[in-house]
Amino acid sequence: MNPTIVSRFRRDVSFTGEHLDLAGTAVPLKALTPGQGAALKLLADGDRDDAELAAAVTALDGETGLLRWHMLFRGLNTSGLVEHAVREDREDRADGEDGGTRESREVIARLRLVGRGTTLLAPAPAGPARLSRFAEARVVDGTLTLQAPGRHLAVELAPRAAGLLGELAAWSTGVPAPILRLLATAGLLAPGGPGEDVETAERSHAQWHPGDLAFHARTRTPASASGYGGTHPLGDRFPPEPVSPPPAGTRTVALPVPDLERIAAADPSLTEVLERRRSIRAQDTEAPITLDQLGELLYRSLRRRGTMTGGDGQELADRPYPSGGAVHELEVYPLVTACEGVPPGLWHYATDRHELELVAEPGRATAALVSEARGAAMLEADPQVVLLVAARFGRVMWKYETVAYPLVLKHVGVLYQTLYLVATAMNLAVCGLGGGDAAAFATASGRDPLLEGTVGELVLGSRPRMEG
């Protein structure tokens, strides 16, 4: 291996001879010397090493032109217009009869700008190097790509170089410096060294699971990932999902529509509700929650009050609680064990029709969900109702990219609080849960967990009489 660092303009940058063009926008340059113009042309044509660029400058500007070229090149790197790679220059023995050799050049690693920032190269570490435990490897458009959380640069590896990742799983001095420079620039190398592993020793690093940090960084560091806001990543490949899910089943239970005027007149004040709200982990087994109460809670918290169409053609909804972009991807599945007027089973609440649709009769799969919720809430008996909150992921992911999943989790919180407050006003016992089993819900409901999966759950029932 004879690896060398080479550079070229980013794929979306072109050179007109006078100025640079960045994805259709002109980037002005100070008056160029002939040597600078020649070197920029080389960068626009493909990967060049420092020596090739310097030779082009000195041929036209003389040795004195080099300092100004280095300043210009540094400025291009600071603006993130250049990308770097490691090229392997080899002499291969040719197969022909003459037994001669043939030179081959192959790029084995490339530093790519995937967000916003500079492409100034960092030095290779002086001592042994190791991959960061937060480094994430993915296949992107057929290429193995590594990125560290929150970093705007990624490193693409050709198959010849991919084995180096195994070498770098432990502190090593066996990896060529040019490759280490790319990895260091992309923040992919662990800080510290053998005997001082910062990533496990220091609280700031040790407390993070790589998956959590990658998720947090992707969604909260716009410079490290494009795709903030309504980018419609699937807009030209799939139609938006309708606001109403397909009907769940043939067996339904109509819910009475509560009289909101009467309720508003009798309700405790907002302050009283907020001050009274508690998580209640006991239920009155003698007098379970009723169909009327379940219907009122669902109606007041999440019924569909209206349907609209967004400017992008996606159907939107209006419900009592807020939702980013009004996409309202959350569906509530009451899993009933004891509710006067509703047979036990897994039901779906149709927010538009205000009715329950039977998804599954009670069975082993629903019993597993009940027992998990009972354990999580430390209840002495099975909860009368488990409100399983599922997300129809496509409703958000059709429109949003980096904020899609975080929005779902925020919506779960908003819905939890709405259910807590309405249940408190109605004197019901409710307790939110911090975890659940999306696979168990998929088994019980028959839903494809990649299309619709549980993201939250609460236990609900009548309030024990002694609780007042």
Ligand X SMILES: Cc1cc2nc3c(=O)[nH]c(=O)nc-3n(C[C@H](O)[C@H](O)[C@H](O)COP(=O)(O)O)c2cc1C
Q: How far is the CB of 277 from ligand X (least distance, A)?
A: 7
Retrieve residue 208's tokens: 């993070």
Residue selected from 434, 448, 450, 465 as contacting ligand X according to rule CB under 6 A: 434
**Shorter beta-carbon distance to ligand X: residue 108 or 433:** 433
Distances (CA, A) of 397 to 17, 35, 258: 42, 49, 34
Q: How far is the CB of 197 from ligand X (least distance, A)?
A: 33
**Shorter beta-carbon distance to ligand X: residue 31 or 378:** 378
**Contact stretch for ligand X (CB under 6 A) within 59-67, 214-222, 242-250, 431-439:** 431-439
**Shorter beta-carbon distance to ligand X: residue 159 or 435:** 435
**Contact stretch for ligand X (CB under 6 A) within 87-95, 148-156, 224-232, 375-383:** 375-383
- Our finding on whether 279 is near ligand X (CB under 6 A) is yes
**Shorter beta-carbon distance to ligand X: residue 377 or 391:** 377
- Our finding on whether 468 is near ligand X (CB under 6 A) is no
Which residues, 6+ apart, have CB-to-CB distance to 222 below 8 Å? 115, 116, 228, 402
CA 397, distance to chain mean position in Å, is 10
Residue selected from 289, 415, 431, 455 as contacting ligand X according to rule CB under 6 A: 431
Q: How far is the CB of 395 from ligand X (least distance, A)?
A: 22
**Contact stretch for ligand X (CB under 6 A) within 30-38, 154-162, 246-254, 277-285:** 277-285
**Contact stretch for ligand X (CB under 6 A) within 65-73, 333-341, 388-396, 430-438:** 430-438
Residue selected from 325, 432, 453, 461 as contacting ligand X according to rule CB under 6 A: 432
**Shorter beta-carbon distance to ligand X: residue 188 or 433:** 433
Note whether 154 and 187 are within 8 A (CB).
no
Q: How far is the CB of 128 from ligand X (least distance, A)?
A: 43
**Shorter beta-carbon distance to ligand X: residue 138 or 278:** 278
- Our finding on whether 423 is near ligand X (CB under 6 A) is no
Q: How far is the CB of 417 from ligand X (least distance, A)?
A: 8
Residue selected from 225, 332, 336, 377 as contacting ligand X according to rule CB under 6 A: 377
- Our finding on whether 281 is near ligand X (CB under 6 A) is yes
Bridge pairing between strands 192-193 and 196-197:
antiparallel
**Shorter beta-carbon distance to ligand X: residue 175 or 280:** 280
- Our finding on whether 378 is near ligand X (CB under 6 A) is yes
Q: How far is the CB of 71 from ligand X (least distance, A)?
A: 54
Residue selected from 102, 105, 278, 305 as contacting ligand X according to rule CB under 6 A: 278
Residue selected from 155, 175, 189, 433 as contacting ligand X according to rule CB under 6 A: 433
- Our finding on whether 369 is near ligand X (CB under 6 A) is no
Residue selected from 9, 69, 416, 441 as contacting ligand X according to rule CB under 6 A: 416
Number of residues engaging ligand X in binding (CB under 6 A): 11
**Shorter beta-carbon distance to ligand X: residue 69 or 441:** 441
Q: How far is the CB of 338 from ligand X (least distance, A)?
A: 19
**Contact stretch for ligand X (CB under 6 A) within 130-138, 253-261, 307-315, 429-437:** 429-437
Q: How far apart are CA 335 and CA 347, in angstroms?
A: 6
Q: Given strand 20-22, what is the order of strands in its sheet?
A: 13-15, 20-22, 25-27
Note whether 80 and 7 are within 8 A (CB).
no
Q: How far is the CB of 465 from ligand X (least distance, A)?
A: 19
Residues that bind ligand X (CB under 6 A): 278-279, 281, 376-378, 416, 431-434
